[in-house]
Amino acid sequence: MSTYFPKGEIARGWYVVDAEGQTLGRLASRVARLLIGKDNPQYTPFLDTGSHVVVINAGKVRVTGMKAEQKKYHRYSGFPGGLRTEEFKHRFERSPERLVEQTITGMLPHTKLGRAMAAKLKVYRGDKHPHQAQKPQTIELARKRA
């Protein structure tokens, strides 16, 4: 069986995902799937066939359990005494859009292809975004019933 290659241009759509009330990890996995292009009929594992995704209301995403109080993020500079630790709560207050973006990009491949997919992700704290000219479609993700 021969390897499938998409013929012609790869059809990339623009989608808007509202993160308000969504669980962070579940939202990230669904958005990563759109960026990778798994829902695209032209999907090819070694090509970037994904769509552009705009995530709005990143400041209203939620986490379950005790993660808001107990989860910590670590980074290490490589030098002695260079370990820096930040709690989820403080990082979320400071820049929720960056936190959501890092969560989504962590679910993409860690290669050149993954970086190309991550470049098609736009995350905004509020409900305003400058991508109206692309006429994005709104994607409704299933919400947990309260």
Domain-located, residue 146: no
**Pair type for strands 83-87 and 72-76:** antiparallel
Domain interval for residue 75: 14-92+108-139
Half-sphere exposure of 35 (CA within 13 A, CB side): 27
Which amino acid makes up residue 111?
T
Domain-located, residue 98: no
Domain-located, residue 103: no
Length of the chain, please? 146
This prediction's pTM? 0.91
pLDDT band per the 50, 70, 90 thresholds, residue 146:
low
Domain-located, residue 100: no
Instruction: State phi, psi for 11 to the nearest 5 degrees.
Output: -75, 110
Domain-located, residue 22: yes
Sign of CA dihedral 87, 90, 94, 96: positive
Q: How many domains does the chain have?
A: 1
Q: Give, in degrees to the nearest 5, the angle at Cα 27 between 111 and 36.
A: 30
Domain-located, residue 112: yes
Instruction: List all residues 6 or more positions away from 3 whose beta carbon is below 8 Å from its beta carbon.
Output: none
Domain-located, residue 42: yes
Domain-located, residue 6: no
CATH number at residue 59: 3.90.1180.10
pLDDT digits (tens, 9 = 90+) for 108-133: 999 999 999 999 999 999 999 999 99
